[in-house]
Chain A
Amino acid sequence: MHATESATSSTLLGKASSGPRLAALAVTLAVLYAGVPLALGQNLYLMSLAVASLTIAGVALAWALLGNLGGMVSFGHAAFFGVGSYISALLTLKAGWPVFPAMLAGGVGAALASLAMTPALRLKGPYFALAILAYAQIFRIVATEWSGLTGGASGLSSIPGLPKVAGFDFGSKSGGYLVVLTLVLVFAAIYARLRGSHVGLALRAMHESEDATRVVGVNSVMLKLAMLMLSAFMTGLVGAFNAHYINFLEPDYAFNASWAVVPIIAAICGGYRTLLGPLIGAVTVYLVDQLVLKSLLPTGHQIVLGMLLVAVIIVSPAGLTALRFKRTRRGVYAAS
């Protein structure tokens, strides 16, 4: 039942072994990896936009993963973003770690921070969402108060940028773009594998009925925790990347609510049940917001994003991408 559905569900990175699919994939990757830097590499501003939209895409993907596989909606993903940023920045600034290992450590740190949220896993939807928000606030205040370690409200500046590896300077705008693009694609791949695997199956069954799965022997709490940690790890890793890309941090920035809000809008508008949805949503929403909306309404341009969110929830709770793919779904449970 669900297995059939996962096999026919539309993911580009799924079991597609057909020729045209692979060719399309190769072309897309070529455009993303080579085309974009070559075309836009000189324009710092546009490259910044591209990198920022991919950063949002990474968080959006992690958020959607938690929502879909973990069944938990969180309003506080900024917590993981901030923790990852600070850990990575501090490791490179104070302990002299090289950048890429520090980024990974940032992700791991965020995952460990999510362990502190274990008690929240037992809470129902809205309570969990807002409990995570409370954690984000707490982390922000800790980062502000523990000024001996974190530099307090002044934050950390001159954080080391991405290094030169094998002659290629990842510290440049194009370099940063390639790194974050790779991160996002790897996340997408992990997400896709997880969805199709037996873990994904167990998680879906769990959403249908948590009691039933417990009877069968699936440890729902451990699974949910694992998904939370994975989502935290991904978000933390992206946060760490951002710290080394922007080269400064302060508590209000690292734990800012927009790191939670914009990915949510992106994921929902793109379609948070699909794999591509959050990605497409993030890039589109962010670019439209920055390029179009901001010039029309210099202040308060997010009002359009809010309206978009409202419209999407009412018209199609699974998001705009789902609207398009609706007709291609088959199977008994196509309505889910």
Chain B
Amino acid sequence: MDRSAIRSKPRALVRALLRLGAGAASACALLAHTPAAFADVLPVGVELPLTGSMARAGNAQLEGIKLAADLFNQGNGKHKVSLTVIDDEAQPAKAVSAVEKLASQGVLAITGGYGSNSVSPASEAADKAGIVYITSGAVDSAMTSRGLKRFFRIGPASGYSKAVVGQLNAMGVKSLSILASTKQATTDLSNEVSKQMRAQGATVTVHAFDPTMTDFKPLVNKVRLQDKPEVMLMIGYENDYIGILRAAKVLRPQLKAVMGAWSIATPKMTAEFPDLVNNVIGCAMLPHPAQFGTAEGKTFVEAYQAAFHKEPDYVAEFAYVQSRLLFDAMARAADAGTLKQDGIAAELRAKPHDTLIGKVSFAPNGDNPSFLNNMAQIQGDRIVLVWPKERATGKLNYPALPW
């Protein structure tokens, strides 16, 4: 070798290194522009009432959503979901600003929302920002008649009212008293149930109460002395149920059964108020102890117990289902490269999905009309599904009262 070759060796090395570096840099640049090719992060927003009057349900939903994210991330190598959670304190204005904040942080979709009063404006804000909003916490029918293109919900009021009416018919009820909170969703359900029951010739008396009411004795007294129905149906939220049941325990109206709508047939209520809720019938997707026939169901229950050291309730289950649907749709849209062109919405609507709560298929207005809830009865420390017959896990105690 001549001397020029010897001197050029280190130079060649440097040049080679430079070329390697340039190649790596351009590769990185290319990689940065093709996110679909590698495990990337899909940011998702969560907006829920974690404090305030709906806190119990909000926190249960959060557990379901977190579980869905964990299970999705474990199962999917290509995409990972990252959650940003904001508490909307069950106040509509805060829900709107939570959605706006999430939008400005660049989330691709939002899952969550509980309480039609908050979900309504929040979902409109999400739509304005071009983001998909999926929820199970807003049941009233007006939600899906606003012409929003990116709003999805898996549990409309029809699923609840059909279940309640189905149960009432199975019990052969001819006279009914409804105590309903004046909030939007509760009024909606109350109207639906009373309409259907009256069409069948039953006597229905409706008593509306202010959400801030805590002393229900005058109301229950009216039911006891004036209405004298066979069944008292409570449509409200947990604190309302507790107040009504307390008043009923004192006044002992002569009924054959006490029913509630959502948020009553949950393990939490059974554990915290055992002397108040026995024999109450309510809407619940899950029995307690939870039993699932499918493999996915078993995984869900085991993972939930491992993560939170307790049994899942149906609120968490709903949130899990809606979030899994969302994450899977996001993954598919990311693969197809349509994330920015409303791909998520298209994927959600594309076909029916098999989920833990049955078949879910989204209509053009974002609703899931095939949804049908189950009815369950609290029997001691167990929650037994009693309606519809094909999903029942036990026998109904009727007539039976909490006191």
Contact = CB atoms under 8 A, between A and B. Distances in A.
Contacts of A328: none
Nearest to A47: B100
Interface stretch (B24-32, B113-121, B234-242, B360-368): B113-121
A298 B184 contact: no
A263 to B, nearest CB: 15
Contacts of A250: 92, 117
B116 A154 contact: yes
Contact of B121 (A43, A247, A252): A247
A2 to B, nearest CB: 41
Interface in A224-255: 246-248, 250, 252-253
Given A246-B121, A253-B91, A48 B97 contact: yes
Contacts of B142: 154, 157
B124 A45 contact: no
Contacts of A219: none
A183 B184 CA distance: 33
B101 interface: yes
Interface in A12-53: 43-46, 48, 52
Contacts of A154: 116-117, 140, 142, 183-184, 187
Nearest to A251: B182
Contacts of B187: 152-154
A246 B93 contact: yes
Number of chain A interface residues as a range = 20 to 34
A246 B124 CA distance: 10
A146 to B, nearest CB: 12
A158 interface: yes
Contacts of A46: 104
B129 interface: yes
B90 to A, nearest CB: 10
Interface in A187-203: none
A219 B182 CA distance: 45
Interface string B104-115: 100000000000
Contacts of B211: 153
Interface in B69-119: 87, 89, 91-93, 96-97, 100-101, 103-104, 116-117
A155 interface: yes
A246 B101 contact: no
Nearest to B142: A154
A144 B182 contact: yes
B93 A44 contact: no
A288 B187 CA distance: 38
B183 A153 contact: yes
Contacts of A246: 93, 96, 121
B97 A248 contact: no
Interface residues of B, number: 27
Given A44-B104, A157-B121, A248 B92 contact: yes
A209 interface: no
Contacts of A141: 210
Contact of A45 (B91, B92, B104): B104
A44 B121 contact: no
A158 B104 contact: no
A299 B124 contact: no
B293 to A, nearest CB: 39
Interface in B2-55: 51
A84 to B, nearest CB: 16
Contacts of A157: 120-121, 124, 142, 146
A263 B89 CA distance: 20
A158 B146 CA distance: 8
Given A152-B182, A153-B182, A248-B92, A158 B124 contact: yes
Contact of B101 (A45, A155, A158): A45
A152 B93 CA distance: 18
Contacts of B93: 246, 253
A248 B124 CA distance: 10
A45 B97 contact: yes
Nearest to B92: A253
B121 A248 contact: yes
A45 to B, nearest CB: 4
A155 B210 contact: no
Given A246-B121, A253-B93, A298 B182 contact: no
Contacts of B129: 44
Nearest to A298: B87
Contacts of B92: 248, 250, 253
A144 B211 CA distance: 11
A43 B51 contact: no
A46 B105 CA distance: 12
Nearest to A157: B120
A158 B147 CA distance: 11
Contacts of B140: 154
A200 to B, nearest CB: 35
B146 A44 contact: no
A157 to B, nearest CB: 5
26 contacts: A43-B104, A44-B129, A45-B100, A48-B100, A144-B210, A152-B182, A153-B117, A153-B182, A153-B187, A153-B211, A154-B116, A154-B183, A155-B117, A157-B124, A157-B142, A246-B93, A246-B96, A246-B121, A247-B121, A248-B120, A248-B121, A248-B124, A252-B117, A253-B92, A253-B93, A299-B51
Interface of B: 51, 87, 89, 91-93, 96-97, 100-101, 103-104, 116-117, 120-121, 124, 129, 140, 142, 146, 182-184, 187, 210-211
8 residue pairs, one from A and one from B, having the closest CB atoms: A154-B184, A153-B182, A248-B121, A45-B101, A45-B104, A299-B51, A44-B100, A44-B104
